[in-house]
Structure 1
Amino acid sequence: MSQNQGIWGAETKHFHLLTPDHVMEAAELWGKRLSGRVMALNSLENRVYDVELASSFDFGKGFSPTNIILKFYRPGRWTKEQILEEHRFLTTLTEFEVPVVAPIEFNDNTLHLHTETNLWFALFPKVQGRLKDELIKDEIDQAGRLIGRIHNIGSMGTFAHRLALNPHTFIDINREALAQTQPVEHVSFQHYLKLLEQLSPMLAPMFTHLTIQRLHGDFHRGNIVWTSAGPMAVDFDDCLSGPVEQDLWLLFPGKDSYSLEDRDRFISAYKEMTRKDHVNLGLTEALRTMRMVHFNAWIAKRWDDHSFKRVFPQFTSANYWDQELIDLRVQMGLIQDRLGMGFE
């Protein structure tokens, strides 16, 4: 698959064939005895389950000895090569003792095909910890050092199959996805698509000379589990090639003085670990805008999946697209101001 194919991969399908029996069958392929207790976890993109083992297993510090996580990948989103590249990145990070959750290898593989449903799946240790809505000073430092360590290892290799974060993959391809699926028929939606045609060439100069490397891709507070040993980065499903700034703005996305103060502390800890003296925070509004477009295209591409209609019922309303159009205009104004000041 070409990296220019876009963020969605091929045609996406939902999981209409998956049953509890399939979950148990897949987990049993590991060869360990199960207790029979399985709990579905909240996940719109993939299907994820907490599976209990009949006896304990030593996964190491920070992991549950009695439970594993089974993840079925959404069919058609990532190719086998792209998923394996994510797995290899995770395995390399654990070899360097970076606290992440790597897939369990069995039968000489980390990725397995459930033949009856034709779904790819993987097993992961279950992390014992909790999420935090707010971070105190020491935790901000720890998070900065954690993503710094991930970037240090990420810079040591490249992705051959994962996507690249740039205006083409996140704006052009997503605009095409929105235009083709069109779950809505409002004037504001059509104006939104027209603005996206202007957005990509506006962003292009900002991405021309950037250093690109392997990233987590979605480093927000929901993807950091705080264990007794400290923070652990989870969910590398969106890992990609891109500028390091993509992993540096999501943790503190606010624009108020408190958020900016915390962000500065986070960046200082990051630089201390990576020795990267130049971090271009001028990219923040461009990256924020690309994520906003990404989110809308994500919903549109999966609109045939009934779970998305249930979670995002407002997506087809005129009010939703009126607000999205306003927000996009505001963001484009901020980007133009940045370009007008001379982008650095």
Structure 2
Amino acid sequence: MAQAFSALSPDTVMSAVESAGVYPAAEPFALNSYENRVLTFQDDERTRWIAKFYRPGRWENAAIVEEHGFLTELAKAGVPVNAPWRNAAGLSLFEHGGFRFALFPHCPGQAPELENPAHLFALGELLGQLHESSEKSAFSHRPRFDHQSDIKDAEARVLASARLNTQERRAYSSVIERTLKALSNVDWSVGPLIRTHGDCHLGNILGRDEHFTLVDFDDCMMAPAIQDIWMLLPTGEPQSWQVALDEVVEGYEQVRDFPRAQLALIEPLRAYRLIRYTAWLCSRWSDPAFPRAFPWFSDRGYWDQHIRQLEQQLLQLETPHWLA
């Protein structure tokens, strides 16, 4: 995979974009991106674009096309998302030189401020709009949330990486086993699976004032609605958590009922993300972009810290502080 991206030269990028019928006025500029390669450029008419080159081997074409169809559907419904550009034939996924790519309009703006009540209200309303449209159909080719198989897959990737010593491997496998046992006691039925953004953190929300757009649906999946909400809530003391939640709920309920029963899934979903995130770093470490972006991952003390973090999260699964 890393070798494939190393072949994505500026000339290849230019040729690929031109093959789709769009003509850059100058060499594209690379943006911070890890899973895929994302660049920005201006065309001859000074219109700004985003070119996204997909990581080879990660998604089947059908999954990418389904993501693009979802974005187009949302945009037509008036949900603020950054939908892909389509050519005269209606195509949004292109291939050139062995790389698959898509073009998007440039989306200006900054991430929201989670300390700003008006921003939290606006985000709640935006996610309410998203879920009001997304629940009307289902994905056929995108992933379905399955905590058991996903966490077992993550554990296998971590242990296969040979990054842990014998003691760390034992401790890691033990905490994963206990986490899976704890998650088996969770009532997941409170969260019916709908089409979600899947990775709704601050880096994937851009805008100004109280007007925001959701970008980068690369991880869209069938999951509980709360998957798109919990990362916007603080992890500090209960009072600040409740204040932020109240603003998000008020905005969300301008559109639809808030899934309050799914609040019980927040700490399970946090445990799921902690485990999957570390496995992602392990599986991508051969890509030169990752050691540059995440140098702390190679520190000798990382695994002790990660295992302690998972142990602490196990306590939260048993007694979530914000549900006390």
Q: Quick check: TM above 0.5?
A: yes
Q: Which amino acid aligns with 1:88?
A: G
Residue by residue, what CA displacement relative to the aligned partner does 1:59-111 show, whole Å, maximum 9, x if unpaired? xxxxxxx1100000111111111111111110100010111000001143111
- One of 180, 193, 204 as aligned partner of 1:200: 180
Aligned counterpart, 2:159 = 179
Partners in 1 of 2:77 and 2:306 — Cα distance? Answer: 42
Q: Does 1:289 align with 2:271?
A: yes
**Residue among 61, 82, 97 paired with 2:63:** 82
Moved more, 312-321 or 289-298: 312-321
Deviation at 1:178, TM superposition (A): 1.0
- Counterparts of 1:12 and 1:197 in 2: how far apart (Å)? 32
Query: Where does residue 215 of structure 1 map in the other structure?
Result: 196
Runs of 4+ in 1 over 4 A off after TM superposition: 11-14
Query: How far is the alpha carbon of 1:35 from its aligned partner?
Result: 0.7
Decide whether aligned partners of structure 1 residues 275 and 330 sit closer, same or farther in structure 2, where only a CA change above 3 A counts: same
**Is the contact made by 1:33 and 1:55 (CA closer than 8 Å) also made in structure 2?**
no
Is the Cα contact below 8 Å between 2:118 and 2:210 reproduced in 1? no
Structure 2 matches for 1:140-179, cutoff 5 A?
140-179=120-159
Deviates more, 1:183-192 or 1:98-107: 183-192
Counterpart of 2:73 (choices 92, 102, 113) is 92
Q: Which moved more, 1:142-151 or 1:313-322?
A: 313-322
* Residue-by-residue CA offset, 1:1-32 (whole Å, 9 max, x unaligned): xxxxxxxxxx8875121100111011112323
Contact 2:120 2:244 in 1 (8 A): yes
Counterpart of 2:28 in structure 1 is 38
Pick closer, same or farther for the CA change 1:68–1:189 going to 2, 3 Å: same
Which is worse superposed, 20-29 or 185-194? 185-194
The match for 2:42 is 52
- Asked whether the equivalents of residues 217 and 236 of structure 1 are also in contact (C-alpha less than 8 Å), the reply is yes
Structure 1 vs Structure 2 CA RMSD: 2.2
Task: Give the Å deviation of 1:230.
Answer: 1.2
Shift of 1:139: 1.9
Match of 1:278 in 2: 260
1:228-267 matches, within 5 Å, as 230-256=211-237, 257-267=239-249
Partner of 1:70: 51
The 3 A distance-change label for structure 1 pair 120 and 149 is same
1:149-206 CA distances to partner (integer Å, 9 max, x unpaired)? 1011110010111112221243111111111222332523431123212322321332
What SS does structure 1 have at the residue aligned with 2:272? helix
Of 93-102 and 74-83, deviating more is 74-83
Secondary structure class of the residue paired with 2:253: helix
Q: Which residue matches 2:205?
A: 224
Secondary structure of 1:334's aligned partner: helix
1:49 match: secondary structure: strand
Q: For residues 211 and 149 of structure 1, do their structure 2 counterparts lie closer, same or farther at Cα, with a shift above 3 Å needed?
A: same
Tell me if 1:325 matches 2:307. yes
Contact 1:163 1:241 in 2 (8 A): yes
> Identity over aligned residues, as a percent?
32
Give the distance between the partners of 1:79 and 1:12, measured in 2 at CA.
18
Kindly state the Cα deviation for residue 264 of structure 1 after the two structures are TM-superposed: 2.2
- Counterpart position of 1:191: 171
> In 2, distance between residues paired with 1:34 and 1:314?
37
C-alpha distance in 1, partners of 2:38/2:290? 16
Contact map agreement 1:188 1:321 (CA 8 A) in 2: yes
Q: Hey, what's the Cα distance between the residues in 1 that align with 2:52 and 2:295?
A: 26
Q: Does the alignment pair 1:23 with 2:4?
A: no
Cα distance between partner residues in 1 of 2:154 and 2:318: 21
Residues matched between the structures, number: 319
Local SS of the residue matching 1:275: coil
How far is the alpha carbon of 1:253 from its aligned partner?
A: 3.3
Deviations 1:245-272 (A, max 9, x none): 1111101232322243112211232133
Structure 1 residues 267 and 34: alpha-carbon distance in aligned structure 2, compared to 1, 3 A threshold: same
CA contact (8 A) 2:114 2:120 kept: no
Q: Residues 129, 337 of structure 1: CA spacing in aligned structure 2 closer, same or farther, 3 A cutoff? A: closer
Distance 1:125 1:169, change over 3 A: farther
Amino acid at match of 1:222: G
Matches of 1:95 and 1:119, distance apart in 2: 28
TM-score, structure 2 normalization: 0.91
SS, match of residue 289 in structure 2: helix
Query: What is the alpha-carbon distance in structure 2 between the residues aligned to residue 69 and residue 95 of structure 1?
Result: 20
- Within 5 Å, which residues of 2 pair with 1:117-136? 118-136=98-116
